[in-house]
Structure 1
Amino acid sequence: MKDIIVDDFQNSVSQSLIRHKSIIDIMTKIGESSSRINRALAKSVTNCGCIEINAHKQSLPEDASLDQIGNILSYQVDGKMCSNCREVLEEEIGTLLYYIAALSESLDINLFDIILKQYGKIQTLGKFSML
């Protein structure tokens, strides 16, 4: 069922994409969408203040195992995003997903297949998949 939803999303994007159908337009819209996500997140911190970013070097004990590291490290975000900021961020992430689907479609790549391959890597390699 989930593969139908992803495939249907990609097909819907393909059918709706008129104005930015050029691969160059799609590439630049992905960059713009990514920037808008960053901006929305920054505004949640600086304008609204519903969340704080407490970024610093995260230290790990030398004898920490991989299982322990997951519990020791944090995303360095404090607070809870308000409904308005969440709505804006969800919209921006949705736009990025739209253009990712458009890029996949323009290159005849199935988005669901990409998700499956990445999921397989994560399941096979576990914590080692992104080291």
Structure 2
Amino acid sequence: MGDSRLTSFQKQVSDLLLRHRSFLDVTSKFQDSTSRVNRALMKAVTECGCIEVHAARQPVDYEASISELKDRFKTHLSGRLCDHCQDVVKAEMGKHLFYFTALCNLLELPLDEIVHQESDKLSTLGVFNLR
């Protein structure tokens, strides 16, 4: 069942995580990485301006089908990340993935099984798993 790329990445993280092997260190670094991803996105809006946020209430038409609702709901984003902002966001997301995987390692949870389990749940529940 294992996805060799995910398994290989998980082993690589295990081999490279030296300084922050403590559960407390990893969980705090994981939380910090979440903040860094959010900060990189906010800077793309407030400093660079390559993306803009135009937020408003999402009206729900209870008569509409799920596919119609999907088309009606907005992301509230306009524009695209410029190359620089995209590089920064991708780097921060990579660090986030690193610490997520490190947390999986400490808890002895196979990353590929987590991904496959979530994918199976999404496939099984389909639209009933809306988030």
Normalising by structure 2, report the TM-score: 0.96
Give the match for residue 77 of structure 2. Answer: 77
Q: Unmatched 5+ residue regions in structure 1?
A: none
* Regions of 4+ moved over 2 Å: none
Aligned length: 131
* Structure-2 separation of matches of 1:130 and 1:26: 30
Question: Aligned ranges for residues 1-131 of structure 1 at < 5 Å?
Answer: 3-131=3-131
Q: Unmatched 5+ residue regions in structure 2?
A: none
* Structure-1 separation of matches of 2:127 and 2:53: 25
Give aligned-pair identity as a percent. Answer: 37
Residue type of the alignment partner of 1:28:
S
* Structure-2 separation of matches of 1:34 and 1:52: 20
* Structure-2 separation of matches of 1:10 and 1:90: 18
How large is the RMSD of aligned CA atoms in angstroms?
1.4
**Per-residue deviation at 1:63?**
1.0
**Per-residue deviation at 1:130?**
3.2
* Structure-2 separation of matches of 1:4 and 1:82: 32
Q: Secondary structure at the match of 1:44?
A: helix
Normalising by structure 1, report the TM-score: 0.96
